[in-house]
Structure 1
Amino acid sequence: MTINLANYEVKAREAVQAFWGNREKARQKQIESGNVDQGERAGVTAGKNMDGFIALVIDLVRANGLDHAAIHRERAVVTLPGYFRPTKLWDLLVINEGRLIAALEFKSQVGPSFGNNFNNRTEEAIGTAHDLWVAYREGAFGKQPRPFVGWMMMVEDAPESRRPVTDRSPHFPVFPEFQGASYLKRYNLLCQRLMQEQLYSVASVIASPRTASADGAYQELDGMTGLKTFVTELAGHIAAEAARGV
């Protein structure tokens, strides 16, 4: 089975450029309108910052044999049933002949408030995946092979995200790998463990500085959680589904 990575490296750089460019456009628009949010919210309230990565995934689906599959990204049609709650909104769904092929989430975090946001993102990622897999076990999607469940995070590459962080745990020690770990390292550990515990087919994190609005630069933290692993595994899953229908 051959897979097509859809020239992902070029498209990823374009997606990174668009991410930073869209944030700045949203900030400028709020300044011009006189309705400015506090702090970093000015760059995110317009949304759509991760659309370049969503476009990359759509290209991967089309390039690997599912050009006829339904790809949903609008809010009204990206809802899936949950087990612990009635429904959950995803960022992108791929459905083929009534089967859920892939469900994906695209997240980002820009400083300076890395601490609270990291904890919120972690709880959300774990809860979302656990809810989906229990719903799958209970037949919410019918009898079908396991879907691809992906989680992708882009974090600002900045001194605050790379600085060692101290934790306080007065009763029991923090796991050693987290002791003094920066927020980027914590995101990398989170992604590794989300996959090791089979909560996500692939969980990926990349780091990118604000200056990447000019060149789309980004960095993978390791091979297991890198973007190449994300696109390769997704492309393989899509190609397998396409072959199943032949």
Structure 2
Amino acid sequence: MSFPWTEEELRARVGAAVQSYWSARGGQAGKQKAGGIVTDAGTRSEVTGGQHLKGFTGLLCDLISSAGYQSSELRFKSGVELPGFYRPTKQWDIVVVRNGRLCAAIEMKSQVGPSFGNNFNNRTEEAVGSSTDLWLAFREGLLGVQQPWVGYFFFLEDAPASTKPVKLASSVFSPDEVFRGTSYRDRYEILCTRMVLERNYNAAALITSERDSGGAYDEPSSALGVESFCRALFGHLIGCA
């Protein structure tokens, strides 16, 4: 079974998902304002509805279906809780099961401004913590005996605050020099690259886009590109018994 899309078809699908993302961001904020909800601060009102990444979820679900998986084997709205080691369960964004085997689990996150600094640390802790929790649960036999494919998908707003170099905060010991002179976009690239190198995740994808991009997007690293991510997932699923 061959990969279902050409490079051009995949880019078109990703562009449509990007456009859907920005529409959902703006739409969710508008709904809360219209409903008189004023408790959310900054851009938080744009994400509390939970629909902003549905375009990317749809893309990955279409890919999984193309690999021969039925709707009963693909979970993305409910039934996505998996056992953990440090906690009873954790909800993943997409879970694929077949014949009682966990074939794949995917974590999907995004960030827009203005608080890139605080959110970067939070996203880092979440990403590393979730993967560590899952792999320890697998070691303990809580996820079956066949190794699953675990992916991390991240969407970042391309904005001046995310692309300009950031000064390193003071520290008791000197930080890794790789972070010196980096932007938050650079740091997300380092994070995703290192999580794959350290086998926290089998693959990671990182894409960026300006808020008024009209669906245009960029991939800071070809190794973290959507096509590489999708092909790795597709290849694993084809071989999943």
State the TM-score bracket (shorter-chain normalisation).
Answer: over 0.9
Query: Would you say 1:41 and 2:44 are equivalent positions?
Result: yes
Unaligned runs of 5+ in 2: none
Residue 220 of structure 2 corresponds to: 221
Q: CA shift at 1:69, angstroms?
A: 5.4
Question: RCO greater where, 1 or 2, for CA within 8 Å and sep 6 or more?
Answer: 1
Residue 203 of structure 1 corresponds to: 204
* Separation in structure 2 between the aligned mates of residue 207 and residue 16 of structure 1, nearest angstrom: 9
TM-score, reference length from structure 1 = 0.92
Q: CA shift at 1:74, angstroms?
A: 2.0
* Separation in structure 2 between the aligned mates of residue 178 and residue 218 of structure 1, nearest angstrom: 24
In the TM superposition, structure 1's runs of 4+ consecutive aligned residues that sit over 3 Å from their partners are: none
Instruction: State the SS of the aligned residue for 2:25.
Output: helix
Deviates more, 1:179-188 or 1:56-65: 56-65
Output the aligned Cα RMSD.
1.5
Instruction: State the SS of the aligned residue for 2:228.
Output: helix
The percent of aligned pairs where both chains have the same amino acid is: 44
Cα shift readout 1:170-190 (whole Å, capped 9, x = no counterpart): 432111110121000000000
Instruction: State the SS of the aligned residue for 2:143.
Output: coil
* Separation in structure 2 between the aligned mates of residue 5 and residue 100 of structure 1, nearest angstrom: 25
Q: Which amino acid is 1:219 matched to?
A: D
Q: CA shift at 1:68, angstroms?
A: 6.1
Are the equivalent residues in 1 in contact too, given 2:110–2:155 (CA < 8 A)? yes
Q: CA shift at 1:23, angstroms?
A: 1.0
Matched pairs, number: 238
Residue 19 of structure 2 corresponds to: 17
TM-score, reference length from structure 2 = 0.94
Q: CA shift at 1:28, angstroms?
A: 1.4
Unaligned runs of 5+ in 1: none
Cα shift readout 1:38-84 (whole Å, capped 9, x = no counterpart): 21012112111001111111111111222465111124x11000111
Are the equivalent residues in 1 in contact too, given 2:209–2:218 (CA < 8 A)? yes
